[in-house]
Amino acid sequence: MTTTSGSENALCGRLLLIDGDAASARQTSMELSGALLVTPQITLATRGREAAELLRKLRFDVVICELTSLDDLAENVEDAMSRLVRLANGALILAVADSGSVSAALGAMRAGAHDYVAKPANGSILAGRLAELAQRHGRPRSLGVEAGPEPEVADFAGFVGASSAMQFLYEQIGRVAASSAPVFITGESGTGKDVCAEALHAKGPRAASRFVAINCAAIPRDLMESELFGVVRGAFTGAHEDRKGAAELADGGTLFLDEVGELDLSLQSKLLRFLQTGSLSRVGETATRKVDVRVICATNRNPMQMIAERQFREDLFYRLHVLPIHLPPLRQRPSDIILLARHFLGHYAHEEHKSFSGISPEAAQQLTAADWPGNVRQLQNLIRRLVVMFDGGEISASMLAAADIESRVAPPAPVEAPRAERRLVLPMWQQEQRIIEEAIATFGGNISMAAAALEISPSTIYRKRQSWSEMAAAG
C-alpha cells in the first residue's frame, strides 16, 4: 500500500484508488492530483481484499475502482462491488471498466457504484466525472472539486442528457440525419424513440416537409392498411370519401412507424413492396401512386427474436435496418437523471405556476439509485406528480416517497402454474441468439463492439446468425 500525502487544505477529501496495475495507479494518482482544484489524500490499493481492509479502518469520500482488480473479493464483479458499497459508508464510487466489458460496468452500477468510465481514463477524465458526481450528490467541498462548466451538449433536439452515452447518440443522429436511408430505432419503452425520430427529421434535409407518425400498436389491424396507404371512396363500409394515408401525407418528408413489429404479416409484405418500389395503392384502387418519403421505424422488442418466432419478416427487417440506432435505458446513464429531473421540474413548475428551489442531496441520491424500468417517461411522470402534489420549496426525499406511486404498488401475487407448465426452457440456440442480439442492439448494431463485449470473434456472430436463419427456415 502506498499513500500520497495531499495538501493540508481542509477541502482535501480522502480518495481510495483501487488498481491492480501499480504503475498505472501511480500515474493516475499523479494526474488526479494535478487535475483536481486541491490535492486530495490518495490511498492506493492493488487488490479488492486490500481495499476492503482499508475501508474497514478508514473513512473515504471517494472510491475509484478498476473492476478487474476485485477478482479476489468475490466470484463476480456485482458481488464484489456490493461488498465494497457496504464497506464504503456512503462514499462516492466510480467504477473503471474496460471498454469491452459493458456487462461488468453495468453489474457494478446495479451493485451500487454511482457511475463508471471506460478505459483509457486519464486523470482529467476522472476529475471531470468526480466533479459531476460531487455536484449531483451535493458534496463538492468534501471532495476538493468544483463542478466545471456544463458539458458542451446537455440538450439536443428534444433530448436532455450530457452523459457519454447521450453524446454518442447526438453524434449518431447528426451523421444519420443527412441521409435518406431507412433508420431502425431500438430501445426500451420510455427511452425516447419518438424524440429520436423527430430529431432525425428536424436535423435532416427534409425538415421543411411533413413528419408523419403512426403507432402500429394503437390502430386495429383491419384499419391499419387504410391508415398507412389511404383509401378510396366506397372501398368498404364507412369509406365515404377518398383519403390519403400516412405514407402519402408524408410525401417529401418523413414517415415514422412506431412499434413496427406489431404490423400484421400480410401488411408487412405490402410495406416491403412500398419500400422496394416507392409506390403505393390506396385501399380499393388499382392505380399506383409514387411518393418520396424517408422511413424511420422503431420497436421496443428484440427484432431478431420476432424473426425467429415468425412474427416479423426477415426481408423487411433488413430493408428497414439500414441505419440502426439504439437508445440506452436511463439506468445506463445515471449522470443524466438529475439533469432530467431539474429540466422537468422547471417545465412543470412553470406550467403549474409554482416555485421550486431545487432537489435536496438526499432526494437526488434517491433518484439516482432508482432502476427506472419506465425510463425517462417514468421520471417525467414522477416529477409532474410532485409539482401537482406540492406547493413549492426544495424537493425532499419524503416528497419523493409520497409521489412515487409506482414503488408503492405491490406486485400481483404469483399464480401457481400447473407442474407441467411451471418451466419453459428455450432451446440452447434460441437462448444464445437472444444474448448475442441484445448485445448487438446495445452497441447500436455494431457487431465488432458486441463481439468484444461478449469476448467472441465477429466471425462467430456472423456464422451463428446464418445458422439461426437456417434453423428458422427449417422450423
CATH at residue 431: 1.10.10
Of the candidate ranges 169-178, 248-257, 455-464, the one whose mean pLDDT is the lowest: 455-464
- Alpha carbon 159 to its chain centroid, in Å, reads 12
- The Cα–Cα gap between 389 and 86 comes to 34
For residue 212, pLDDT beyond 90: yes
Kindly indicate the confidence band of residue 139, based on its pLDDT and cuts at 50, 70 and 90.
low
199 within some domain: yes
Same domain? For 354 and 404 the reply is yes
370 within some domain: yes
419 within some domain: no
What are 224-251's pLDDT values in tens digits? 888 999 888 766 666 668 889 999 999 9
240 within some domain: yes
Residue finishing a domain among 80, 114, 143? 143
For residue 465, pLDDT beyond 60: yes
Same domain? For 184 and 316 the reply is yes
What are 271-328's pLDDT values in tens digits? 999 999 999 988 888 888 999 999 999 999 888 888 888 899 999 999 999 898 989 8
271 within some domain: yes
Kindly indicate the confidence band of residue 159, based on its pLDDT and cuts at 50, 70 and 90.
very high
Of the candidate ranges 195-199, 276-280, 405-409, 416-420, the one whose mean pLDDT is the lowest: 416-420
Across residues 157-163, what is the average pLDDT? Answer: 87
Q: Is residue 60 a contact partner of residue 88, using CB atoms and an 8 Å limit?
A: yes
Same domain? For 268 and 219 the reply is yes
Residue 141: what pLDDT?
43
Across residues 163-176, what is the average pLDDT? Answer: 84
Residue 472: what pLDDT?
60
Same domain? For 164 and 282 the reply is yes
Across residues 137-155, what is the average pLDDT? Answer: 50
Same domain? For 321 and 340 the reply is no
Same domain? For 231 and 345 the reply is no
Maximum mean pLDDT: which of 89-98, 149-158, 166-175, 348-357 = 348-357
For residue 407, pLDDT beyond 80: no
Same domain? For 180 and 208 the reply is yes
For residue 453, pLDDT beyond 80: no
418 within some domain: no
For residue 417, pLDDT beyond 50: no
Q: Which domain holds residue 197?
A: 159-326
- The Cα–Cα gap between 274 and 264 comes to 15
For residue 408, pLDDT beyond 70: no
What are 102-117's pLDDT values in tens digits? 667 767 777 778 777 7
420 within some domain: no
What are 42-60's pLDDT values in tens digits? 889 999 999 999 998 888 8
Same domain? For 397 and 271 the reply is no
Same domain? For 315 and 349 the reply is no
Same domain? For 64 and 45 the reply is yes
Same domain? For 336 and 400 the reply is yes
CATH number for position 353? 1.10.8.60
Maximum mean pLDDT: which of 5-19, 35-49, 385-399 = 385-399
For residue 144, pLDDT beyond 60: no
Residue 279: what pLDDT?
92
Residue 199: what pLDDT?
95
Q: Is residue 113 a contact partner of residue 93, using CB atoms and an 8 Å limit?
A: yes
Name which residue leads in pLDDT, 319 or 126: 319
pTM for the whole structure: 0.58
Residue finishing a domain among 143, 178, 206? 143
Residue 474: what pLDDT?
57
> Hey, what's the torsion of the CAs at 228, 234, 237, 241, to 10 degrees?
60
Same domain? For 138 and 167 the reply is no
| Number of structural domains in the chain | 4
Residue 11: what pLDDT?
30
293 within some domain: yes
Mean pLDDT of the chain: 81
Of the candidate ranges 12-21, 200-209, 264-273, the one whose mean pLDDT is the lowest: 12-21
